Copies of this chain bind each other. A is one copy, B any other.
Amino acid sequence: MAELTYRDAVARGIAQEMARDPDVVFLGEDIGKPGGVFKATVGLYEQFGPLRVRDTPISEQAILGAAMGAAMTGLKPIAEIMFSDFLAVCFDYIANEIPKTRYMSNGQLKCPLVVRTANGAGSRFGAQHSQSVENWAMMIPGLKVVAPSTPRDVIGLLAAAVRDPDPVIFFEHKSLYATKGEVEDGEIVDTLGTAKILRPGAHATILALALMVPRALAAAERLSAEFGIEAEVIDLRSLVPLDTRTILGSVSRTHRLFTVEENPRLCGWGAEIVSIVADEGFYDLDGPPVRITTPHIPLPAADVLEDMVLPTVERIVDRVRKSLEA
């Protein structure tokens, strides 16, 4: 057992998999000698050398294309796209190439690769470096989509992603890199598609992802302490595969659903889940399912402004309380 930052967990997770399997290779901008702009890959270059940890030019299409070609022919590449906003400059690979190749070839081709990317707000970087774009990946058939909230999950889910025979988009949260958590020694491998009930509760189900998980937990604490409302908090951990069993099971017990989404509202993961629960769990619901999201606007840069737009503990508490009291 050791305390580890989320940032160091990334490096440890990659190292664990590279040490295990020589087919795992890693490429991206400034990931090698410099250890990554978020310092999340420090030491890998030294440990695995320049042939397995390769700095690239600023050519995101080439990065993902190369990862895909290598994956198709036998390697298990991990590609870093520095900020998740930059998925837009290589989106053809995310939307059209990587996810569709297996299907179009009727199973002849495969794409076992991981795209790691730093997602989310909190660093005051403004509208083009702070987005939460999990839905950009979730909406594409053929991808798997993962977003850990703790150092332990970073390692376990990254390992699961690398070992997965399908392409996985792995969203790391910029504002979690500095957070710490207990991590056991030795190999850690988790399972994709399993949500975690972090806090049981009978009155409401709160679904959260990544940075929103600690906020949902804090909100649940306050709801309990101040209002006697016991919220069940679920960390989704992966959006595809989606653990609808755990979600629907929880709603069948609590009868109320809340999503806490960092993304701007329209077509976020919460919309999809609400539509599933509203359909399949309709008669379990005692009141309207409520989405707590960043408003549907580009993100402002200024710290005071950025702090106003993301869902806060206060907003979560408020919405849940008002909704349950209504």
Give A residues with C-beta under 8 Å from B.
Answer: 85-86, 88-89, 91-92, 94-96, 99-100, 103-104, 126-128, 135-136, 138-142, 240, 263-272, 274-275, 278-280, 282-283, 285, 287-291, 296-298, 300-301
Q: How far is the CA of A271 from the CA of B239 in the complex (A)?
A: 15
A to B CB contacts below 8 Å, 7 in the list: A85-B95, A104-B127, A135-B267, A136-B139, A141-B297, A265-B272, A267-B271
Copies of the polypeptide in the assembly:
2
- Distance of A239 from chain B, by nearest CB (Å): 8
Closest-by-CB residue of B relative to A61 is B89
Of the candidates B91, B94, B104, B126, the one whose C-beta lies within 8 Å of that of A298 is B104
Find chain B residues with CB under 8 A from A103 CB.
127, 297-298, 300
CA distance A191 to B297 in the complex (A): 23
Contact across chains for B282 and A266 when beta carbons are under 8 A apart = no
Nearest neighbor of A126 in chain B, beta-carbon distance = B104
A315 to chain B, nearest CB (A): 15
Task: Tell me which of A95, A142, A264, A270 has the highest count of chain B C-beta atoms within 10 A of its own C-beta.
Answer: A95
Residue of A269, A288, A300 contacting most chain B CB atoms (<10 Å): A288
